[in-house]
């Protein structure tokens, strides 16, 4: 194999002085100046650069000594590095930076259906006692329905949302506790919570050895800071075990003055809705909003496994100990107590990292970044997809018959051996299901880019290397709702709107999929009447103000594209076809043109050359794109082939060969 390296040549002037200094430094480090003399300064710079780009660090003394040997095979060394995790991590970071796939702490993922809060009351012994509950839970009593399970008369206090109880507490009788609460050994305190008699109690030191990375906030470990919790008390409805349960009608049928709610409540009890009255007794999924809000028999499951804990009564409460700024998974310089929403965010990002790492390190067809059905999950993510993600569904969708979520990741595909504690154990899911489309259907992407347009924009930028720039165009007042036609706006939106239409079936700011049999893209009342749409007043004249759609309708169908007889799914107006095809079709579109390979070449060259490409780099970009699409070893669209071609190119070798004068003048000379 031929060694790719510049021919050693005598150095003159400043270059010679640098070489002498480098030789002296190598002598101090234990290398002979005679050995270093076989390589030029440019050679050392080149080796340093490829070491940083392919290994993520400067070369060691031993590696420099090997490099200086006459028998050193640089091409073989490069090929060896292109099979390592360090190389894959370098490329992965390029695309993580382009996509900016980090959901910050400002994003609060707090679902009432899955978040347990706790309040303190006085127990029968007149000592403080914590009781866990969740808001929105259907209960058997009208006095406590969708609120805390004990009343003011039983506790002496009232229970405002997201705050500590107010009033003068009285001791709760044992009979009341036995009737309306249960004692549970929850999943976060017992690794063997599914057994008949859980015994493996949380111990910070022992558990770190068995399941490293899992650590509880102090408030969940001990109520008093001294004695460890061995069990908790939870409202009876939350302790229900079933995965499905019957719809139960709201027990309140009276009248309520919001200024003076009955039973010592701070809000009015809910009245029976038309849906629950009509569907009483029908079975619903207990992991969904529908189940939580419509069935008093829908609880958190065995060991409360469908719910997330919190050590307090506020909107967000401390739950787990996590890195403040995760670096390379859970490795971090500092850790703090954080809420359960942070727990989800950390592992959403970890899924994307593991997904990209697998594609790059194993040199799979790079188009799978957008088209891949596979993913990687750990224990917390498996719990999220099984028990937490469905809680985002289905809301007002029940009016359209949507009570059972159609997931972007089919929970039946998840590994059966993962537990919520397996933080550092990652396993592959070969096929997420029919709606999966690479990075585009992962929670980290869908939450970071909450709107359809934002999702389309970042993909257009990262995989087509194009942006939306309108230029200096005067915008005129317009009532045209179609942005592909509105003067000025159409310069960008003629492309952006059809791209964003691919995401019409994934609700904004969530991962909830809207199946076409429940939510048709376009509805003509005369040809295909849908009772739910008619009852929700979805058909009306937008030019009048006497008739407006209900919230149930406008959540899904766009008032701006509605007539007395037709209506259109939100986001789909510019292309009904794209809306029905979904993100998978967008992935095929983005990867089917030469723009894709050219953009990948541009992204990698920009990252490794440390500068933006110019017209002078057009030949290099074309060469890299060609090598990328042709691939190697039977793999087309090979990132390994592209990077190999890049690091042996003249442009890469010379990328760091700027003189000190050039640096001092800002690189002008």
Given a cut of 70, whether residue 24 has pLDDT beyond it is no
Helix (H/G/I), strand (E/B), else coil: 243: coil
Helix (H) or strand (E) holding 336, with range, is strand 335-339
Spatial separation of the C-alpha atoms in residues 641 and 633, rounded to whole Å = 9
* Cβ 330 vs Cβ 423: under 8 Å: yes
What confidence score (pLDDT) does residue 659 get? 55
Given a cut of 90, whether residue 617 has pLDDT beyond it is yes
Site of tokens 């549970």: 184
- How many other CB atoms are found less than 10 A from the CB of residue 402? 24
pLDDT band at 530 (very low <50, low <70, confident <90, very high): confident
Sign (positive or negative) of CA dihedral 217, 223, 228, 231 = negative
Residue 665 burial (10 A CB sphere; 0-12, 13-18, 19+): exposed
* Cβ 162 vs Cβ 210: under 8 Å: no
- How many other CB atoms are found less than 10 A from the CB of residue 196? 5
What confidence score (pLDDT) does residue 529 get? 63
Given a cut of 50, whether residue 21 has pLDDT beyond it is no
Residue 13's region, left for phi above 0, alpha for psi from -120 to 50, else beta, is left
Spatial separation of the C-alpha atoms in residues 81 and 234, rounded to whole Å = 54
Backbone phi, psi, residue 560, to 5°: -70, -20
* Cβ 340 vs Cβ 334: under 8 Å: no
Helix (H) or strand (E) holding 567, with range, is strand 566-568
- Under 8 Å CB-to-CB from 287, ≥6 apart: which residues? 113, 243, 306, 386, 387, 390, 391
595 half-sphere exposure, CB direction, 13 A CA radius: 15
Residue 663's alpha-carbon distances to 17, 473, 570, in angstroms, are 18, 39, 52
N-term to C-term CA, the chain: 37
What confidence score (pLDDT) does residue 399 get? 85
Backbone phi, psi, residue 143, to 5°: -65, -25
Site of tokens 């300064």: 41
Given a cut of 80, whether residue 664 has pLDDT beyond it is no
pTM here is: 0.89
DSSP letter for each residue of 604-629: HHHHHHTS---GGGHHHHHHHHHHHH
CA dihedral 503, 509, 512, 515 (to 10 degrees): -30
pLDDT band at 539 (very low <50, low <70, confident <90, very high): confident
Highest mean pLDDT among 104-118, 363-377, 470-484: 363-377
Given a cut of 90, whether residue 409 has pLDDT beyond it is yes
Spatial separation of the C-alpha atoms in residues 157 and 154, rounded to whole Å = 8
Spatial separation of the C-alpha atoms in residues 374 and 433, rounded to whole Å = 9
Spatial separation of the C-alpha atoms in residues 403 and 397, rounded to whole Å = 7
The more confident residue out of 664 and 600 is 600
What confidence score (pLDDT) does residue 661 get? 55
pLDDT-wise least confident of 313-327, 474-488, 621-635 = 313-327
pLDDT-wise least confident of 133-137, 152-156, 166-170, 207-211 = 207-211
Given a cut of 50, whether residue 5 has pLDDT beyond it is no
Given a cut of 70, whether residue 26 has pLDDT beyond it is no
- Under 8 Å CB-to-CB from 404, ≥6 apart: which residues? 284, 285, 288, 394
Alpha helices in 430-539 (DSSP H): 443-448, 452-464, 490-500, 531-535
Spatial separation of the C-alpha atoms in residues 362 and 377, rounded to whole Å = 18
What confidence score (pLDDT) does residue 333 get? 56
Highest mean pLDDT among 102-111, 163-172, 462-471, 511-520: 163-172
Given a cut of 60, whether residue 8 has pLDDT beyond it is no
Sequence length of the chain is 669
Highest mean pLDDT among 93-107, 238-252, 519-533: 238-252
Q: What percent of the chain has pLDDT over 90?
A: 71
Structure tokens at 25: 């430094």
* Cβ 315 vs Cβ 205: under 8 Å: no
pLDDT-wise least confident of 73-87, 476-490, 570-584 = 476-490
pLDDT-wise least confident of 114-123, 366-375, 466-475 = 466-475
Helix (H) or strand (E) holding 318, with range, is strand 318-323
What confidence score (pLDDT) does residue 665 get? 47
Distance of CA 201 to the CA centre of its chain: 31
- Cis bond upstream, residue 419 (ω within 30): no
Q: What percent of the chain has pLDDT over 70?
A: 89
Spatial separation of the C-alpha atoms in residues 568 and 559, rounded to whole Å = 8
Which of 337, 351, 319, 376 has the alpha carbon at shortest distance from 187? Answer: 319
Spatial separation of the C-alpha atoms in residues 338 and 347, rounded to whole Å = 14
What confidence score (pLDDT) does residue 101 get? 87
Given a cut of 80, whether residue 533 has pLDDT beyond it is no
Spatial separation of the C-alpha atoms in residues 558 and 563, rounded to whole Å = 10
Alpha helices in 303-372 (DSSP H): 340-361, 368-371
* Cβ 42 vs Cβ 15: under 8 Å: no
Spatial separation of the C-alpha atoms in residues 235 and 132, rounded to whole Å = 6
Which of 90, 591, 89 has the alpha carbon at shortest distance from 367? Answer: 591
- Under 8 Å CB-to-CB from 520, ≥6 apart: which residues? 528, 530, 569
What confidence score (pLDDT) does residue 97 get? 93
Mean pLDDT for all residues in the chain: 88
Spatial separation of the C-alpha atoms in residues 33 and 601, rounded to whole Å = 39
DSSP letter for each residue of 86-135: HHHHHHHHHHHHHHT----TTS----TTTB-EEEEEE-TTSSEEEEEE-T
Helix (H/G/I), strand (E/B), else coil: 359: helix
Spatial separation of the C-alpha atoms in residues 365 and 433, rounded to whole Å = 19
pLDDT-wise least confident of 19-28, 60-69, 273-282, 472-481 = 19-28
What confidence score (pLDDT) does residue 574 get? 97
Given a cut of 50, whether residue 450 has pLDDT beyond it is yes
pLDDT band at 120 (very low <50, low <70, confident <90, very high): very high
What confidence score (pLDDT) does residue 191 get? 95
- How many other CB atoms are found less than 10 A from the CB of residue 18? 16
* Cβ 436 vs Cβ 566: under 8 Å: no
Residue 270's alpha-carbon distances to 293, 299, 475, in angstroms, are 10, 19, 48
pLDDT band at 660 (very low <50, low <70, confident <90, very high): low
User: 506 - beta bridge partners?
Assistant: 513
Highest mean pLDDT among 211-215, 328-332, 501-505, 521-525: 501-505
* Cβ 430 vs Cβ 374: under 8 Å: yes
Domain ranges for the chain: 13-81, 117-315, 335-448, 490-587, 595-627+638-664
pLDDT band at 324 (very low <50, low <70, confident <90, very high): confident
pLDDT-wise least confident of 258-272, 317-331, 610-624 = 317-331
């Amino acid at each position: 194999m031929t060694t790719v390296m510049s021919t050693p040549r005598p150095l003159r002037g400043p270059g010679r002085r640098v070489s002498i200094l480098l030789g002296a430094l190598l002598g101090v480090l234990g290398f002979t100046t005679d050995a270093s003399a076989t390589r030029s300064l440019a050679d050392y710079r080149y080796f340093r650069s490829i070491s940083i780009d392919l290994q993520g660090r400067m070369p060691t003394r031993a590696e420099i000594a090997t490099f200086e040997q006459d028998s050193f095979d640089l091409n073989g060394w490069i090929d060896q590095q292109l099979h390592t995790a360090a190389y894959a991590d370098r490329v992965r970071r390029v695309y993580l930076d382009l996509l900016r796939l980090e959901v910050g702490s400002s994003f609060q993922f707090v679902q009432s259906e899955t978040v347990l809060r706790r309040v303190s009351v006085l127990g029968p012994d007149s000592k403080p006692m914590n009781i866990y509950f969740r808001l929105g839970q259907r209960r058997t009593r009208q006095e406590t329905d969708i609120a805390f399970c004990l009343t003011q008369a039983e506790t002496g206090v009232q229970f405002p949302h997201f705050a500590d109880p107010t009033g003068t507490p009285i001791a709760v009788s044992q009979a009341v506790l036995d009737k309306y609460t249960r004692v549970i050994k929850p999943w976060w305190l017992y690794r063997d919570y599914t057994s008949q008699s859980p015994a493996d109690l949380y111990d910070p030191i022992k558990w770190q050895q068995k399941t490293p990375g899992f650590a509880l906030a102090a408030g969940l470990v001990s109520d008093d800071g001294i004695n460890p919790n061995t069990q908790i008390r939870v409202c009876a409805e939350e302790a229900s075990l079933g995965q499905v349960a019957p719809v139960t009608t709201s027990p309140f049928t009276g009248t309520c003055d919001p200024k003076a709610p009955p039973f010592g409540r701070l809000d009015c009890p809910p009245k029976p809705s038309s849906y629950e009255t009509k569907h009483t007794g029908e079975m619903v999924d207990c992991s969904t909003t529908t189940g939580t809000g419509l069935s008093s028999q829908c609880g958190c499951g065995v060991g409360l496994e469908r719910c997330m804990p919190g050590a307090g009564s506020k909107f967000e409460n401390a739950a787990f100990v996590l890195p403040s700024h995760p670096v390379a998974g859970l490795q971090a310089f500092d850790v703090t107590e954080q809420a359960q929403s942070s727990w989800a965010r950390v592992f959403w990002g970890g899924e994307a990292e593991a997904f990209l790492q697998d594609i790059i390190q194993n040199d799979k067809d790079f188009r799978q970044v957008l088209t891949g059905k596979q993913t990687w999950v750990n224990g917390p993510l498996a719990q999220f997809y099984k028990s937490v993600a469905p809680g985002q569904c289905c809301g007002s969708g029940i009016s359209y018959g949507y009570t059972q979520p159609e997931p972007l990741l089919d929970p039946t595909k998840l590994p059966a051996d993962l537990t919520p504690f397996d933080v550092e154990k990652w396993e592959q899911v070969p096929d997420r299901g029919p709606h999966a489309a690479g990075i585009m259907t992962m929670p980290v992407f869908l939450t970071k880019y909450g709107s359809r347009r934002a999702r389309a924009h970042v993909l257009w930028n990262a995989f087509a290397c194009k942006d939306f720039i309108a230029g200096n165009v005067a915008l005129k007042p317009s009532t045209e709702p179609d942005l592909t036609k509105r003067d000025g706006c159409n310069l960008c939106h003629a492309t952006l709107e059809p791209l964003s239409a691919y995401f019409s079936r994934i609700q904004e700011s969530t991962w909830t999929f809207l199946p076409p049999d429940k939510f048709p893209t376009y509805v003509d009342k005369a040809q295909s009447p849908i009772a739910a749409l008619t009852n929700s007043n979805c058909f009306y004249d937008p030019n009048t103000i006497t008739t407006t759609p209900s919230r149930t309708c406008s959540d899904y169908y766009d008032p701006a594209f509605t007539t007395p007889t037709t209506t259109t799914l939100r986001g789909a107006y510019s292309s009904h076809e794209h809306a029905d095809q979904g993100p998978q079709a967008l992935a095929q579109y983005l990867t089917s043109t030469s723009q894709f390979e050219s953009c990948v070449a541009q992204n990698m060259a920009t990252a490794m050359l440390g500068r933006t490409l110019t017209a002078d780099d057009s030949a290099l970009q074309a060469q890299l794109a060609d090598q990328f699409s042709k691939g190697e070893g039977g793999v087309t669209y090979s990132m390994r082939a592209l990077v190999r071609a890049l690091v042996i190119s003249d442009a890469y070798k010379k990328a760091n060969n700027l003189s000190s004068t050039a640096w001092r003048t800002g690189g002008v000379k």
